[in-house]
Structure formats: C-alpha cells, structure tokens
Chains A and B, each alone.
Chain A
Amino acid sequence: MSSTTAPSAYYIPHAARWPIVGSVGLFIFFYGFATWLNGAAFGKEMFFLGTAIVVFMMFGWFGQVARESESGTYNGQVDSSFRMCMMWFIFSEVMFFAAFFGALFYARSFSGPWLGGDGAGGAEMTNAILYQGHDYVWPSDGPAHIGGGFQQMGWFGLPLINTLLLLTSGLTCTFAHHAIREGKRKPFILWLGATVGLGFIFVCLQAYEYYHAYSALNLKMTSGIYGSTFFMLTGFHGFHVTMGAIILLVVMIRAMFSHFSADNHFAFEAAAWYWHFVDVVWLGLFIFVYLL
C-alpha cells in the first residue's frame, strides 16, 4: 500500500490481543507492589514481572500501531482521534499534577498558618492546646519537626540549570518539528537527539540534587510537609520527564528507520506535546516549589 493515498473508511481494528496482556501485566504489577509494600513474600518478584509484561505490551501495541501507520492504514479521521486522545490524556495529567499542587497551596496558605495559631475558627486554641509555641514559617516540617532539622533546597544552582536545560530542550524539540515538516530527516534526528540528551541530563542532575538533599541538607521525603510536597512534586515530574525522554528516544529510533514524513509524523507531535507539557509543569514547580 502506498502511504500517499489515505483510505476512505475509518479503520476499525479487529482482535486486539495487547489489551488483555496489559491488564494481566498491570494486575501482577499492582498486586505485587501492594504485597511488596506489606513486606510479604513474592511481592518484589511480582512487581518486576508485572513491569516487564507492561513494557512488553507497550512495545507490542505501539509497534503494531506504528506498522499500521507506516503502511497507510489510517486516514485523516483516525489521525484526529489519536490527536484528541493525546490532548485529553495530557489534560488528565494536568489534573493529576493539580492534586499535588493543590496540596502544596493548601498546606502553605491554610493548614500551616492554622497550626501556627493564625486564622478564625479556633486556630488559636488548637495552637495553644496542642502545639504551644509552634510558630509557622515555610519551609515547615510541622509542630513535631518530623524528620529532624533540614535545609531548604535553594533555587539557584542546580534547579536553575535544570530550568535552562528544559527550556532549551523545548526549543530543540520545536526545531526538530520544523525540520520534519520540511521533510529534512537528518536535522530532525539531530534535534531530536539533542532534546533526548537534554532530557536525560535533566534527570541525572535531578538525581544528583536528591542525593545532595539527602546527604547534605538532611532534606528527605520524611521532612514534614515541606519534604513531602517537595519530593512528591519533583519526583512525579521527574518520572514524567523520564517517560517523555523515553518516548522521544523511541521516536528518534523510528526516525532512523525512516519512519515519518513531512505530513505523517503524529507520534512525534504527540511526544512533543507531552514534552512541552512537562516543560510547563516544571516552570510551575520552579516558581512554587523553589522560588516562592
């Protein structure tokens, strides 16, 4: 089939075998993870087995879709479905982050001051009876100073470098997009490679930042609400950067196998949208977690 003549009918796939593999994989993953957390036998093994099955499923499923796309199975309407799917998926991710940002805002503007005795509705009494002498200042590890004394993570240095890295990767990603739109494969692959590289450097630097936090600042996940929100937000984001970089890497490898053309490269676009989303979330993090 030529990829230039798009089929007229909407492509309805038959006999999907990957979803059930994914369900079994996730089942083993979740069951194993819970068992592992409870410290019971075979939890860890199930966790890794489940992970492996899910990764296998993703390669199989996405590989099938990639082959179908390259053989011209899809038409413009199918393409629109994929685009909507990705957009709404990113929206759901935005809401996932919103829960953690909400926790940060709530702790900083409401529960923190209340614990310190500020605010109507008996905050003063709570403070006097339960937490006498506790004065709220951010960063806080609460009246009980859970986790012991710690130092705040500054914004200058690694976080700032990471910000510049991610912003630059957003640019290189856009250059890659321009290249493929003009059908220039080589610059497309090179700019993609730069984006992936910057992404992985970001992850490495963040790992180093965590190491620094644990070893030098005594800043841990257990460091009260500050440590909780810091590691939850940056960790969840870091996980997304890792996923985004892997997705872009897969796109790059596909490009090396001469996938994609000037007018058929949605996999790249989806990855790029995802990357920009991760980028924007980082800006929010940089402002609300590090700067303010």
Chain B
Amino acid sequence: MSSNDVTHHAADDHDHDHGHDEHGPAPGLMRWVTTTNHKDIGTLYLWFSLVMFFIGGAMALVIRAELFQPGIQIVDPMFFNSMTTMHAIVMIFGVVMPAFVGLANWMIPMMIGAPDMALPRLNNWSFWIMPFAFTIMLSTLFMDSGGPAGGWTLYPPLVLQMGDSFAYVIFAIHFLGISSVMGSINIVATIFNMRAPGMTFMQMPMFVWTWLITAYLLIATIPVFAGAVTMLLTDRFFGTSFFNAAGGGDPVMFQHIFWFFGHPEVYILILPAFGIVSSIIPTFARKPLFGYDSMVYATASIAFLSFIVWAHHMFTTGMPLAGSLFFMFSTMMISVPTGVKVFNWVATMWRGSMTFETPMLFAIGFVIMFTVGGLSGLMLAITPADIQYHDTYFVVAHFHYVLVPGAIYSLMAATYYWLPKWTGNMYDETLGKWHFWISTVFVNVLFFPMHFVGLAGMPRRIPDYSLQFADWNMIATIGAFGFGFSQLMFVYIIVKCVRGGEKATANVWEGARGLEWTVASPAPYHTFETAPAIESSTVTR
C-alpha cells in the first residue's frame, strides 16, 4: 500500500538507542509477516476480511441460487447445509470481527494519541493466527465427509454426528478464540494505558469507547465458547456425557452455554459499528455528537444487559415459565439504550449543515436499516410470538438487517471515511455514491421479502420449500446476486483509491474532529511518537 513512500517526519527528539533504528517499513514480503506496526496490522486485517467477505458471499450465493426455485435444484442438501453453516462462520469470525479489529488497529492509537498498540508483537500474532485458523476451517469443505453442516451454533446431538471435519472445526474455533482474546487484551491495554497524557476517558471518541466495551465482551465470552466446544469434543471423543441425557447431561445445556457467549457476540458485531456511525454523523452534520455521555452509558448498559438475555434464542427449546418471562423482559429492555443511540444520531443530524458524501450515506443507511432490524428483534423477543417466528425466515431477515445494512454498512462507511487518511488519496465520490445506492436497493430486495415468507412460515436452513414461497424467494435471490456483484464496485473503488487519485488534505472532511485528522494524509508510518498534550479544551472527539 501507499504507506511505502511515506516520508518520515523528523520526530528525532526521543531515544533511539535500542533496536529502534528501523523507522520505515521493512522491504519485501517479510514486512507483512513480521510487522509490529499497528497500521500494517490494521491493513492486513482489513484485506483479510475483504477477501473473506467474498468467500462468505460466494457461499451465500450458493444458498440463494438453490433457493431461486422450489425443489432441489443445484446442490445436494448436505452441501447446502454446510454452506449455511460456513457462510455464518466465515461472515462472523472471518469478516465482521477481523474488519473491526483492523479498524481498531488503524484508528485507536491515532485517536488517543498513542505511538502504537500496547503490545505490538502480540498484535502481530493476533492477526497471523487468522489465515492459519481459516485454512483449517475451510479445509473441512474438501474432506470426504464434507464441511460442518449442523449450523454455526453447533447444537448437539446433531453436531456430534458430523464426519471427520468435526474435530477440525472445533480446533479452528479454539485457534480463532486465541486470536480474539489476545487482540482484545491488546485493545483494552492500549486504551487504558496508552492514551496521550491528559486525555480523560470522557474525551475519547465513541469508536474507542465502543471498542473498549467490545473487547471486554470478547474477553468475557470467547473463553466460555471455547469451554462449550471443548465439552463437545470430549463428548464425541472421550466418552463424557455433558450433552447426553442418558448419562445425566443435557443437550439443552449446550444451548445455554453457547448463547451465553452468542448473545454478547452479537453486540461484539455491532458495538464498534455504533462507534463508527457516531464518528461519521457528527462530521457530515458539522455538529458535535448529541448526547455523548448518554452514548457512553447506553453502550455500557447494552453490554451489561447482553449477559442476561441469552435464552431468548431458546424460547421453543423449553424452559420454566419464570425463565421465559425474565428473558423476554430483559431482552426488551435492551431496546431502551439502543433507542437512546438512535435518538442521539437523529438529534445530531437535526438542524446540522448536512452534506451527503458516501460515508454519510452509508451511516444514514445504517441508522434506518439497523433500526428495521432492531424493531423485528423486538418482535422476536416476545415469547409467545417467537414461538411462531422461531427458525423461520423472519429470524433470517431480522439478523441480516442488523448485520448487513447494519454491521457491514458501518464497515463500508468506515472504509470510505478513513480511506483518504490511510492512502492519502480521495476515493471516487461518484462511484462511491453509486455503490451505496445500488447496494441499498439490492439489499432490501434481498432481505425484505424474507420477512414475508418468514411470517408465512417458511423454515430456514432447508434447501427446499413449499410452492407458496416461490415468488418472494425468486425476488430475494435476484437481490442477493445484485448485492453480491455490486460489491465488486467496492473493491474497484478501494483499489483505485490505493493506486492514486486526488490528494487528500490532513483534515480530509470539513467537519472532522479528533486527533487522527491532525496528522498528515496518508498517516505517516509512525504517528504520535511524542505524545500530544491534551487539555480539557482539546477537541479529541
């Protein structure tokens, strides 16, 4: 990338005498393998997730192609099932999570005025686990017994009936877990320990706050997930009875442990998105973020509540009535802090001097369409209603609205917003706008009909369906291919921007606030080697 030709600034006023003499990036391929630079590692994460986005997307297109018409059309059901399973695993662990970690790597040190992440070597390792872990994960698709096909939630006893790929999937999850936990520890240590002198917690940009809380969620829940899959492993290979009722265990217990991880996980996938949108909307509304303090407290409340709502995924599994009631009300309670956020974003835009550059378009798209997903989530939280909706396409519509025009849109918004800072070049604004509008049309064509077929009773994760669902499925598939192929535009715009274009100024956006906009574009290889002095009046967010 273009940071190769960065001229190094003359911050020579600090100690140089301990192996600190290499100041630019090392030449050749080894630069990327051994790098400890947060910008390099952020770039690696971002490219990795972009590649995985197309792998996971191709799997989604296999699913949608099969569902274009009723009947078994293109793939056999076993392969269809492994596509739904792998699509989820790739998109969650290979796309959204690493992309957010990549953004955290790039932006957090610059936002808090730190020279780098707190633990640069560990940072390198967190990234370099990802390609190896996904090699294990994806290799299962080529095994005789096929890839994992029991759904990404890995429910026993079904998952225990998987073929040879079972053990590989479990270990790939352990492997990815090591990466996530190390990456999160690094982020927490960076935010606690590396803020420029004088920067208080309440001066941190929302993106830093949301990542701090996300990292905490990751450290708290990934090990629980690792424990759950370890018990699956021993049940399969070492004769334990954790999830076997005949031995006094309970398959439902897996669901409880899994979703104790799984629900905070969905906030892991969305809290950094909240942070991104909270950075972008003030810039293009040219007003400070409305209700910053309430944003911080809302994020913390969402994180707290996320630990006590897990069984809303299990209403049809069965639990005591008191449990159903508790999990219904605690889930609905999350809509309060989430509502606070949506209100704050709207209030930030209220009477702002708004302009609609591509990042802003994606951010506004996020606010509207994420809210659609949030509202269907509220419907799903109602226990008696959920018994009807459970495992239908309504659920698929719900979580794809929060994840695609939600999390993925925030990632695209972030890419357009910070790309000039990363590359020093402006992206093609016209193409960016086209990318937004085409994506937004197709994403709704793709996912909105799923509400209808879901409410009408179409079950998910099944390659065939009854005839009355045919029309909407055909439309959804058209939307899927449209959305999928329009993402090639995204790659084209990024590559074009990396290779050149109109030079970006340091501030890039007229209304941008925060320390990352005080350094040159492209950001020098090392920034803030001498910490900036932060006063209570310094604009840092």
Q: Which residues of A contact B (CB under 8 A)?
A: 1, 7-20, 22-24, 26-27, 30-31, 33-35, 37-38, 40, 61, 68, 71, 73, 77, 80-82, 84-85, 88-89, 91-93, 95-100, 102-103, 106-107, 110-112, 114-115, 119-122, 130, 136, 140-144, 146-147, 220-222, 224-229, 231-232
CB of B257 within 8 A of CB of A1, answer: no
Given A81-B119, A99-B224, A140-B248, A27-B136 contact (CB < 8 Å): yes
Q: Specify which chain A residues have a CB less than 8 angstroms from the CB of B228 in the assembled complex.
A: 99
Given A81-B119, A107-B249, A7-B124 contact (CB < 8 Å): no
CB of B22 within 8 A of CB of A23, answer: no
Given A14-B20, A34-B171, A146-B241, A77-B249 contact (CB < 8 Å): no
CB of B242 within 8 A of CB of A103, answer: yes
Q: Specify which chain B residues have a CB less than 8 angstroms from the CB of A34 in the assembled complex.
A: 136, 167-168, 170-171
Q: Specify which chain A residues have a CB less than 8 angstroms from the CB of B15 in the assembled complex.
A: 7-9
CB of A232 within 8 A of CB of B240, answer: yes
Q: Please, which residue of chain B has its CB at the minimum distance from the CB of A220?
A: B239
Interface size on B, residues (CB 8 A): 85
CB of A96 within 8 A of CB of B194, answer: no
CB of B242 within 8 A of CB of A61, answer: no
Q: Specify which chain A residues have a CB less than 8 angstroms from the CB of B231 in the assembled complex.
A: 99-100, 103, 228, 232
Closest 3 CB pairs of A and B: A99-B227, A142-B248, A111-B250
Complex Cα distance A106/B319, Å? 13
Complex Cα distance A227/B249, Å? 11
CB of A85 within 8 A of CB of B119, answer: yes
CB of A10 within 8 A of CB of B116, answer: yes
Query: B462-505 interface mask toward A, CB cutoff 8 Å, 1 = contact, 0 = none?
Result: 00000000000000000000000000000000000000000000
Find residues 46-83 in chain B having any chain A CB closer than 8 Å to their own CB. none
Check B220 for interface membership: any CB of A closer than 8 A: yes
Check B456 for interface membership: any CB of A closer than 8 A: no
Question: Min CB distance, A231 to chain B, in Å?
Answer: 8
Question: Min CB distance, A167 to chain B, in Å?
Answer: 26
Find residues 255-281 in chain B having any chain A CB closer than 8 Å to their own CB. 256-257, 260
Given A10-B194, A146-B241, A88-B219 contact (CB < 8 Å): yes
Q: Which residues of B contact A (CB under 8 A)?
A: 14-15, 17-20, 22, 26, 30, 33-36, 114-116, 118-122, 124-125, 128-129, 132-133, 135-136, 164, 167-168, 170-172, 174-175, 178, 181, 184-186, 188-189, 192-194, 219-224, 226-228, 230-231, 233-235, 237-242, 244-250, 252-253, 256-257, 260, 318-321, 526, 529
New A-B pairs, 10, CB < 8 Å, besides A8-B14, A142-B241: A13-B121, A15-B34, A15-B35, A15-B36, A30-B168, A33-B171, A88-B219, A111-B250, A115-B250, A225-B242
CB of B164 within 8 A of CB of A38, answer: yes
Q: Please, which residue of chain B has its CB at the minimum distance from the CB of A31?
A: B136
Given A96-B224, A222-B240, A19-B132 contact (CB < 8 Å): no
Q: Specify which chain A residues have a CB less than 8 angstroms from the CB of B124 in the assembled complex.
A: 16, 19-20
CB of A111 within 8 A of CB of B132, answer: no
Complex Cα distance A33/B526, Å? 41
Q: Specify which chain A residues have a CB less than 8 angstroms from the CB of B129 in the assembled complex.
A: 23, 26
CB of B36 within 8 A of CB of A16, answer: yes
CB of A26 within 8 A of CB of B219, answer: no
- Among A10, A33, A99, A110, contact of B257 (Cβ-Cβ < 8 Å): A99
Complex Cα distance A38/B247, Å? 23
